[in-house]
Structure 1
Amino acid sequence: MEVVIDANEVISALISSSGKTAEIIFSGKLKLFAPEYLLGEINNHKSEILQKSGLSKAELDMLLSLIFLNIEFIPFFEFEKFEEEASKICQDPNDTEYFSLALKLGCSIWSNDKRLKEQNKVKVYNTTELIGLLK
């Protein structure tokens, strides 16, 4: 199953590396994609992640590298033509790239953000729903 992963799911896996989110990422049961934009989002929250996770900077960098091995990052130019359509169905400009990429790939999004489900063009799964699908 192909899924566009939201930055908040990566952050969740970093904060709780033995939790369900990390387990799904490392399970190999999903083909995960993300816009390169996700890299900047993670970088912007690194100090918060360090504080909440209790990891050292070196441990965080190692875990991040392992997580990123499981995600295929797609540059914006590859899905740019879907941005206009995505901005019509997604009200939050911070999430437009996730929707644009999902539209290009014809796949769903993995996010626990309930607001992302307030549209009917792209299927959005939360972590609990994905666990049920992967059983």
Structure 2
Amino acid sequence: MGADFGYRGKRLGLPAEGPGAIAPVGRRVGALFIDWALSALIAFGLLAGRRLEATNNWALVVFLVMSLLTVGTVGATPGKRLLGLRVVALDGLERLPVWRTAVRTVLLGLAVPALVWDRDNRGLHDRLSGSVQVRA
């Protein structure tokens, strides 16, 4: 109790401020809302007037596919990109390899791993895939 661990990301070797620093929680949540709204809009367009309940299930599928494709290629979802965030590998790689992006996406789809955070604000999905969300 009361131990000083320094700033978030210090033990990961990340800077305290600026590009490469741990992404703020508010921006991460904002990016999630943008990505989810975009996914819901795409799912609604794909279903073109079918039952609204089905749209929610398809929105999750679109969200996961969008996350897999965008994080795996450009390192950020559209929401993250708009808010100046990106997902990077902790082992020095600029982007996550495809298999690690897939692990992260599957765990993100389960939701619970994304709700379990460590003191560096990394969700379990980021820890298990060896990634971290940082400021771009």
Structure-1-length-normalised TM-score: 0.24
Structure-2-length-normalised TM-score: 0.24
More strand per residue = 1
